[in-house]
Amino acid sequence: MTHPRIAFIGAGNMAASLIGGLLARGVPTARIVASEPHAEQRQRIAAEHGIAVLEDNAAAAAGADIVVLAVKPQVMKDVCLALAPALPQGALVVSIAAGIPCASLERWLGEQAIVRCMPNTPSLLREGASGLYANARTSAAQREQAGELLGAVGLALWLDEEAQIDAVTAVSGSGPAYFFLLMEAMSAAGQRLGLDAATASLLARQTALGAARMALESDVDPAELRRRVTSPKGTTEAAINAFQAGGFEALVDQALHAAAHRSAQLAEQLGQ
């Protein structure tokens, strides 16, 4: 099988997660190249993944079938304007930036096939979850290429409307951080209840894994799985009552709306 040549523009946290996941899936190191302005980061990614990491974005993009834009939204416009003349003819551009609409990327890059997607960091373990949206210039073959790229590192779902990317960002793009926060809070509470730090942390993390696997691998929905843990007048009920008294669901709703709102706001501020 011939693997497409993939160039990552920006080799930070999310690019590293995708690169690690693609290599774990069997993509040869020679088919992946990245560019990164910071020498230390260049060396770190090259040493960790065994891929070439260049200083120059245009040099990395040369000859690529897929160019993944993996820089922060705040520098995306300058990066695109500088990269536009160097984009290989017919290359597919995949942007993973939060908030930057396809229309802005088209304005900065010219007439280009663009897939905007929102992945997440568990892609490193090929347990990612991403939402994808393709602009009108993207061919069916390129959609397939983008689907395979993100599908190689986890779940990849196509969206009907670009605006849904804000919701995907709120649920799964930022989502790993919410679960990490819950693990941190459970671990800290476990310590206050008398466990040593290592034991509390390990119990919290393994419980998150077990719960996630049950929720994904059984036919039973999370609400029913929760009920099965919750004995009448038992310990779980006491905890859930405390969560609900504290407005847990409303707080989650508020947090996800804040993330989606920020995604839309980034488009307004940085998409011009």
Ligand X SMILES: NC(=O)C1=CN([C@@H]2O[C@H](COP(=O)(O)OP(=O)(O)OC[C@H]3O[C@@H](n4cnc5c(N)ncnc54)[C@H](O)[C@@H]3O)[C@@H](O)[C@H]2O)C=CC1
Ligand Y SMILES: O=C(O)[C@@H]1CCC=N1
The residues that touch ligand X, with contacts defined as CB under 6 A, are: 9-15, 35-38, 41, 57, 70-73, 75, 79, 96-98, 118-121, 173
Q: Which two tokens stand for residue 70?
A: 């993996």
Stretch that binds ligand Y, among 35-43, 85-93, 166-174, 241-249 (CB under 6 A): 166-174
The least CB distance from residue 134 to ligand X, in Å, is 17
Confirm or reject binding of residue 98 to ligand Y (CB under 6 A).
Answer: yes
Helix (H) or strand (E) holding 93: strand 92-95
- Name the DSSP class of 70: -
Given a contact cutoff of 8 angstroms between Cβ atoms, the answer to whether 214 and 224 are in contact is no
Spatial CA neighbour of 148 closest among 109, 189, 92, 98: 92
Residue 12 interface partner, choices ligand X, ligand Y, none, CB cut-off 5-8 Å depending on type: ligand X
Which residues lie across from 5 on neighbouring strands?
Answer: none
Confirm or reject binding of residue 169 to ligand Y (CB under 6 A).
Answer: yes
Confirm or reject binding of residue 135 to ligand Y (CB under 6 A).
Answer: no
Report how far Cα 204 is from the mean position of its chain's Cα atoms.
23
Complex with ligand X: residue 79 or 200, whichever CB lies closer: 79
Residue 60 interface partner, choices ligand Y, ligand X, none, CB cut-off 5-8 Å depending on type: none
- Name the DSSP class of 152: T
- Name the DSSP class of 65: S
The least CB distance from residue 173 to ligand X, in Å, is 4
Spatial CA neighbour of 58 closest among 105, 28, 29, 91: 91
Stretch that binds ligand Y, among 30-38, 39-47, 168-176, 222-230 (CB under 6 A): 168-176
Stretch that binds ligand Y, among 15-23, 138-146, 167-175, 218-226 (CB under 6 A): 167-175
The least CB distance from residue 14 to ligand Y, in Å, is 7
Given a contact cutoff of 8 angstroms between Cβ atoms, the answer to whether 48 and 23 are in contact is no
The C-alpha angle with vertex 84 and arms to 22 and 260, in degrees rounded to 5, equals 60
Residue 93 interface partner, choices ligand X, ligand Y, none, CB cut-off 5-8 Å depending on type: none
d(CA 169, CA 182): 18
d(CA 201, CA 198): 5
Question: Binders of ligand Y: how many residues, by CB under 6 A?
Answer: 4
Q: Which residue is nearest to ligand X (CB)?
A: 12
Annotated binding site: 9-14, 57, 70-73
The least CB distance from residue 34 to ligand X, in Å, is 9
Complex with ligand Y: residue 173 or 190, whichever CB lies closer: 173
SS3 of residue 232 by DSSP? coil
Q: Which residue is nearest to ligand Y (CB)?
A: 173
Residues in the site for ligand Y, rule: CB under 6 A? 98, 169, 173-174
